[in-house]
A and B are shown apart, each in its own frame.
Chain A
Amino acid sequence: MSATTLAAEPAARPAPERRPVVELSGVHRRYPGTPPVRALDGVDLRIDSGELVGIVGPSGSGKSTLLNILGTLDRADEGLVRIDGLDVGKLGDGQLSALRARRIGFVFQQFFLTAGVTAVDNVADGLLYTGMPLGERRRRALDTLERVGLADRVHHRPNELSGGQRQRVAVARALVGAPSLLLADEPTGALDSASGAAVLKLLHELHDGGTTVVVITHDHDVAAELPRQVHIRDGRIASDEKAGGR
């Protein structure tokens, strides 16, 4: 079932208890049309806690569709989707929202920060739907901004930040709720190579800290840096490789 290829278990890190965060089996997603678009065509995938996985493939191969399903923003037409141990197919919209509020963090190519709102408040919005009081949300947001290296930019508004800084704010927002799964769709797509490298470095650091990260990219250089690369083509997993670490 699991598409994980057996590779040498990274022995460098003290291995935390492995548990599956993502388990997909036989996942299909079709979009209506003539003929229908088979965006995902029988995907099996298992991602364990603490992994840093790159999903790589050409444009239109189904990467974003896969990410939407991993993030429970979209549902599979067929197949089993289990996120953080929960069978997503059996959950209602409210329960999926709860899962996103507390277990999943998103980073988007276009950042999607709220204009005119300071970095700390943008990050605090990552906890908005947990019902946490504002003071506590801000406190955690400050801590998280420090973690992503933006302690000196907390009161800047998005238009006062560079692209790379904006994306790091977005990463902090995804991270502030300590999610089981961090999903990033082309996080470096809108950045120059230096800023992109900084964001990638940040994701690597999060991985080192134990966060489970899935990064979508069509950039093979970016993918080459990642310890595990899942190649997707025409809605199918073409290969799943684990490097022996960085």
Chain B
Amino acid sequence: MSAGRPGSGRGDPAPSRLRPRDTLRVAASGLSARPLRAVLSALGIAVGVAAMVAVVGISASSREQVNQQLRELGTNLLTVAPGQSFTGEEVRLPPESVDMVDRIPAVTDVSAIGAVAGAAVYRNDEIDPGQTNALAVNAARIDLLDTVGGTVASGRWLDEALAEYPTVVLGATAAELLGISRTDGTVGVWLGGEWFTVVGVLDPVALAPELDSAALVGWPAATEILGFDGSPSTIYERSDEAAIEEVQALLPATVNPEHPEEVAVSRPSDALAAQAAADETLTTLLLALGGVALLVGGIGVANTMVIAVLERRTEIGLRRALGATRAHVRRQFLGESVLLAGLGGTGGAVLGGIVTAVFAATRDWPFALPLWVLAGAAAATVLVGALAGAYPAARAARMPPTAALSSV
């Protein structure tokens, strides 16, 4: 009656057991038996993961590039500009406001530009003055370049002497639009009805992009030759990093004690950071697209696994005859599916990393690929593989061994 009568049998057999290592081996054997199919169905996953890794990697590299730039440029630059009055009139900053800002104790540097009303700049004197361009003519203090952290691309920046004479330094865009590259003093531009000698061209100024499309003349020259009224249109100031908030609060009342609300204070580094953040919308969209590719890849894996289970009925029957439990069969096919997806995931992560590295290299960006992306990609592929394999594996496990063996 009882299982294992003494003397009649050998008692209950020890349970079937498949070592974890053998589970892996058996799962891998299914893939290595059909390598081309494995590679092709892993490709879908690889594309999805590569897209996601590259998107995150490129956006991280871009952010790293901005951060690096901000570290170099500093985040302690504030700009002060006239805002709008309550009645909507244009307001002006008083000429002495630059000195007043300088008197704030925490302020270390201060400079300014002033828009020269009615002045425009042209390549020569034959261009119809009615034909306006987008280039601004600004009076610039000679400490401007240091304060905004700008650099000279060619020629030189204004000094005390040059600032008195009809000389001009062009922003990067302005020089390009005017078609000027020579800064040896032989080229002039027609500026406010006078010839001004071009002595320098600037590199793009990251923290003050408005200077890129400006022609900058010395403050005294602007006053004397162009009739500039000395009212600053933008004040640039730097302070101790720790005191920025305090300075920011003090600036409006310092510049315009009567109408502090008419003063606009901004922090250009915020704009740069915000620009990097704005890219995140696109990143999210691309990430979602990568997710869709991953999903499609997962469906491909599921399809491959369903076919594999149908094709390998005999193998399943044989394994059951050799003593595999349903769980062993299920684990084999689940493992195969996860390996298949993992193969795609690994390939995709490597591909995504390469794309990021190449993209960053071509733009002179630092290479940044957060570790969580790789961990996320690994987790995503395991999940996709497990989901894709769940149904085929369950089906394989349910297959009766006799049906599996007689189906040849």
Contacts and interface: CB of A to CB of B under 8 A. Distances in A.
A94 B318 CA distance: 16
Contact of B17 (A84, A91, A115, A129): A129
A102 B18 contact: no
**B interface, how many residues as a size bin?**
35 or more
Contacts of A125: 322
B325 A99 contact: no
B151 to A, nearest CB: 66
Interface string A182-200: 0000000000000000000
Interface string B388-408: 000000000000111001101
B38 to A, nearest CB: 14
A238 interface: no
A74 B320 contact: no
A187 B53 CA distance: 55
B328 A129 contact: yes
Interface stretch (A105-113, A147-155, A161-169, A216-224): A105-113
Interface string B14-31: 111111011001100100
A164 to B, nearest CB: 20
Nearest to B408: A110
Given A90-B3, A101-B322, A85 B401 contact: no
B90 interface: no
A159 B13 CA distance: 35
A139 interface: no
A94 to B, nearest CB: 5
Interface in B314-328: 314-315, 317-328
A97 B9 contact: no
B79 to A, nearest CB: 72
Nearest to B4: A85
A85 B26 CA distance: 32
Nearest to A108: B405
Given A87-B1, A91-B3, A97 B10 contact: no
Contact of B324 (A84, A129, A133): A129
A19 B322 contact: no
B402 A19 contact: no
Given A101-B16, A130-B16, A85 B9 contact: yes
Contacts of B319: 128-129
B320 to A, nearest CB: 7
B33 A116 contact: yes
A4 B9 CA distance: 19
B18 A129 contact: yes
Given A73-B405, A86-B4, A99-B13, A131 B321 contact: no
A131 B19 contact: yes
A98 interface: yes
A126 interface: yes
A95 interface: yes
A95 B13 CA distance: 8
Contact of A71 (B3, B11, B321): B321
Given A73-B320, A112-B314, A126-B322, A98 B15 contact: yes
27 contacts: A64-B406, A68-B402, A74-B401, A84-B10, A85-B10, A86-B4, A86-B13, A87-B1, A94-B327, A97-B15, A97-B326, A100-B321, A102-B14, A103-B10, A103-B13, A108-B318, A114-B315, A125-B322, A128-B22, A128-B319, A128-B322, A129-B16, A129-B17, A129-B319, A129-B322, A129-B328, A133-B19
Interface of A: 19-20, 64, 68, 71, 73-74, 84-87, 90-91, 93-95, 97-103, 106, 108, 110, 112, 114-117, 125-126, 128-131, 133-134, 173, 180
Of all A-B residue pairs in the complex, the 10 with the closest CB atoms, nearest first, are A85-B9, A101-B323, A131-B17, A129-B323, A85-B8, A102-B13, A97-B325, A101-B16, A73-B401, A100-B323
